[in-house]
Chains A and B, each alone.
Chain A
Amino acid sequence: MGRKTLADINSGNGEPLISIRDVCKEFRRDAITIPVLQGINLEVAPGGYLALMGPSGSGKSTLLNLVAGLDRPTSGTVTVCGQSLERSSESQLAKWRSQHVGFIFQLYNLIPVLTAFENVELPLTLTSLSRRERREHVEAALQVVGLNDRSHHYPRQLSGGQEQRVSIARAIATDPTLIVADEPTGDLDAKSAAEILDLMERLNRDFHKTIIMVTHDPDAAARAHQTLHLQKGVLVEKTHE
């Protein structure tokens, strides 16, 4: 697919996987300009695990969206996996996301009419893999999340925790460099949440995935290598484990 792999980045000159410089983000509502992020500077090394915390409206989801290439900054630069996202077109971003980013959403966002297998296979249909190769990838991803026996179940036939695990399998099916998670345990009970956090930790530790996670849960944030706090669009505190 011609993309930079994790190995390439690690073996380079210590180049960060994510580099955010002087980023501002404003939203316009009618004639009013609402500043959401102001002067954000941030670097994340390959294989990092970063938690973003802060009160509602502090801009953490906006920052996550910028890193994931779902949105573009008003000013400043966002470079992720060697790609300058602020200068990329809509279609370039779509292609880039399909190759480099895996998404874990709070409400899982699985396609209800597709089985667990088909949901995980979905991002693989954007690649040039053969049907057999896609099946192998899906089976491997479902194996990682421990849901091989549920591959033909529809989302409505799964518990919340299982749905989130399918969502994680979908996120890792294409072997992306970066995983972005927006409150991945926000809709789960404590036991399921702990399982998901264990799984994410394993992805980071054993599969060297770089993870950025937005969370309100201090326990979830404690699993990350680094926690950043945002307040009114400004990074106010950095915590390192």
Chain B
Amino acid sequence: MIPAKYNVRNLRVRWVTTLMTVVSTGLVVWATVLTFGLVEGLEHALRISGEPLDLIVLRKGTTEETSSSIEQNVAKEISNLEGIATDATGQPLCSSEFVTILTKPRRGDGGTTNLIVRGLQEMGRAMRPSFKIVRGRDVKPGVNEVITSERMAERFQNLALGEKLEINKVLFEVVGYFEAAGSSAESEVWTDLRDLTGARRTPEALSCVNLRCRDEAAKSTLLKRLREDEQFKLDAIDEPAYFERQMNAAVAIKYAGIAIALFLTMGAMFAAANTMYAAVASRGREIGALRAIGFSRRSILFSFLLESVMLCLLGGALGCLGTLPLNGFSTGTANWATFSEITFAFRFGPTVLMQGVLMAVAMGLVGGLFPALRAVRMPIIQALRET
């Protein structure tokens, strides 16, 4: 095999073309990894929102909390059903909640978008994954207070700590920021259940009941009971399945991203191929000499492919590194299931970065293949005569 230092030094010698190819490949990998990181962030937010043993109980015929309505007495009966897990004090892990959508102005661009406001009690907050107040404090019932995530405060007007959010002409003060492991809960504004229904002038209204089953067997029994009991007229949805359905936006972004990435990749492959064709053309006599000395066609092919892959890998590494400052950077997109905005953070984990690296390798292999084939097909004598 031809030593790899031959390729490394050739890349260094032709540093201008190397740099240009590395930058173009890097930009493509950067854009692709960015898209994959966006999708991964959105999927992660929705994936971790669903607790495996949790059920969301809605009115029969509805598929979303925002369009569901449940009577208070029914909610009370649900909380007494057999199979619901309890906390340390023996209270059932069951939360009656009211969800409403408000149209509120975003910060910066002045546009408006839908915002989910959820009224719930302490139990409901405790049932969310890793719920914790990170700044300020939790809401007190009866005094019209709200809490939200820092990401939402950055994206919406009147949601920063100390500001006041108007709900049906009632002002709710923002008293704290919370985190819920990056789940979709962080895309909502939370307040006390009664304060919210009071402001909406629907004091008896409930949208849904969230409950945690004791185990898988209890979950199956409760699902069957809630769905089939004619007295309730309810539907119960497995929480992970509920959030999975909301991943349509992620799927759309993913496929659009893949399509764009493919086009960009083809461009980068041409750039790599162009660089490698120039390399082969300028090194005809070297190739001839290497073959005369006894290096096989396969060695030459491998050497030029290696050089092309090195070139694109440099770009890939640059592209991947370029995305890291955006890791955890929050953004938002429309959740087409709830017609509201979901905020989430870019996630550039090992899988996403590996996809970027593999893409760079593919660019190098495909882009380098034809120039490498040209190098090996060159007759030795003709190659030795190249100027």
* Chain A residues within CB distance 8 Å of chain B: 65, 68, 70-71, 90-91, 94-95, 97-99, 103, 105, 107, 109-114, 118, 122-123, 125-126, 170
Q: Which residues of A contact B381 (CB under 8 A)?
A: 65, 70-71
Q: Is B233 an interface residue (CB 8 A)?
A: no
Q: Name A122's contact: one of B12, B13, B293 (CB within 8 Å).
A: B293
Provide a sorted-by-A list of 19 A–B residue pairs whose CB atoms are within 8 angstroms. Answer: A65-B381, A70-B381, A94-B297, A95-B294, A95-B296, A98-B293, A98-B294, A98-B295, A99-B294, A109-B286, A109-B384, A113-B9, A114-B5, A114-B6, A118-B3, A122-B293, A125-B1, A125-B2, A126-B295
Footprint of A on B, CB under 8 Å? 1-3, 5-6, 9-10, 12-13, 285-286, 288-297, 380-381, 384
Give A103's nearest chain B residue, CB to CB: B292
Whether the pair A113, B294 counts as a contact (CB closer than 8 A) is: no
- CB-CB under 8 A from B288, the residues of chain A are 109
Q: Which of A70, A95, A111, A118 contacts B292 (CB 8 A)?
A: A70
A114 to B4, CA, bound (A): 11
Residue of B nearest to A167 (CB): B289
Contact, CB under 8 Å: A113 / B380: no
Could you tell me the distance between the alpha carbons of A122 and B297 in the complex, rounded to whole angstroms?
16
A70-B381, A71-B381, A98-B294 as given contacts; A111 in contact with B289, CB under 8 Å: yes
Note all chain B residues with C-beta closer than 8 A to A110: 289
Most B CB within 10 A of own CB, among A95, A99, A111, A123: A111
Q: Which residue of chain A has its CB nearest to the CB of B7?
A: A113
Q: How far is the CB of A63 from chain B (nearest CB, A)?
A: 12
Identify which of A98, A103, A118, A125 contacts B289 (C-beta below 8 A). A103
Partner of B286 from the list A111, A125, A170 (CB cut-off 8 Å) is A111
The answer to whether A125 and B9 have CB atoms under 8 Å apart is no
CB pair A105–B289 under 8 Å, yes or no, is yes
Further pairs besides A68-B292, A122-B2, A122-B3: 9, Cβ < 8 Å: A97-B294, A98-B293, A109-B288, A111-B290, A112-B13, A114-B5, A114-B6, A125-B2, A125-B3
How many Å lie between the Cα of A164 and that of B293 in the bound state? 15
Q: How far is the CA of A95 from the CA of B294 in the complex (A)?
A: 6
B297-A90 in contact (CB<8A): yes
CA distance A99 to B122 in the complex (A): 83
A107 CB contacts on chain B under 8 angstroms: 285
Q: Is the CB of A114 within 8 A of B293?
A: no
CB < 8 Å neighbour of B295 from A94, A99, A109: A94
Distance (whole angstroms) from the CB of B40 to the closest CB of chain A: 41
- Shortest CB-to-CB span from A170 to chain B, Å, is 8
A98 CA / B5 CA spacing, docked (Å): 21
Pairwise interchain contact A126-B9, C-beta atoms closer than 8 A: no
Q: Shortest beta-carbon distance, B221 to chain A, in Å? A: 71
Bound together, the chains give a CA A65 to CA B10 distance in angstroms of: 29
Q: Which residues of A contact B12 (CB under 8 A)?
A: 113
Residues of the B chain whose Cβ atoms lie less than 8 Å from the Cβ of A70: 292, 380-381
Closest B residue by C-beta to A93: B294
Residue of B nearest to A108 (CB): B289
Question: Using Cβ atoms and an 8 Å threshold, which residues of chain A touch B285?
Answer: 107, 109
Name the A residues within 8 Å of B297 (CB-CB): 90-91, 94
Which residues of chain B are within 8 angstroms of A126 by Cβ–Cβ distance? Answer: 293-295
Q: A77 CA to B96 CA in the complex, in Å?
A: 96
* Residues in A neighbouring B1, C-beta threshold 8 A: 125
- CA A90 to CA B285, docked complex, whole Å: 19
- Nearest residue in A to B14 (C-beta to C-beta)? A113
User: Which residues of the other chain, A, contact B10 by a CB distance below 8 angstroms?
Assistant: 113
Q: How far is the CA of A90 from the CA of B296 in the complex (A)?
A: 8
Chain A, Cβ-Cβ closest to B286: A111
Distance of B260 from chain A, by nearest CB (Å): 37
Contact B384 A105 (CB under 8 A): yes
The residues of B that contact A125 with a CB separation of less than 8 Å are 1-3
Interface centre among A71, A95, A125 (most CB of B within 10 A): A125
Q: Which residues of B contact A122 (CB under 8 A)?
A: 2-3, 290, 293
User: Looking at A90, A109, A114, which has the most chain B CB atoms within 10 Å of its CB?
Assistant: A109
Closest 5 CB pairs of A and B: A98-B294, A113-B9, A109-B289, A97-B294, A94-B296
User: Within the assembled complex, what's the spacing in Å between the Cα atoms of A90 and B295?
Assistant: 11
C-alpha gap A120/B271 in the complex (Å):
34
A113 to B290, CA, bound (A): 13
Residue from B288, B293, B380 whose CB has the most chain A CB atoms within 10 Å = B293
Q: Which of chain A's residues has its CB closest to B297's CB?
A: A90
Q: Which residues of A contact B292 (CB under 8 A)?
A: 68, 70, 97, 103, 109
Give Cα distance in the complex from A97 to B291, angstroms: 9
In the docked arrangement, what's the CA distance between A98 and B13, Å?
28
**CB-nearest residue of chain A to B285:** A109
Q: Chain A residues near B380 (CB, 8 Å)?
A: 70-71
Task: Looking at the assembled complex, report how far the CB atom of A173 sits from the nearest CB atom of chain B, in whole angstroms.
Answer: 10
For A173, the closest partner residue in chain B by CB is B293
The interface residues of chain B lying within 8 Å CB-to-CB of A94 are 291, 294-297
Tell whether, in the assembled complex, residue B296 and residue A91 are in contact, meaning their CB atoms are under 8 Å apart: yes
Q: Tell me if B291 and A114 are in contact (CB < 8 A).
A: no
Chain B residues within an 8 Å CB radius of A97 = 292-294
CA distance A70 to B12 in the complex (A): 31
Report the bound CA distance from A105 to B291 in whole Å: 13
Smallest CB gap from B288: residue in A: A109
Docked Cα-Cα span, A98 to B384, in Å, equals 17
Give the interface centre of B2, B5, B9, B288 by most chain A CB atoms within 10 Å. Answer: B9
Docked Cα-Cα span, A112 to B1, in Å, equals 18
Of the candidates A90, A95, A114, A123, the one whose C-beta lies within 8 Å of that of B9 is: A114
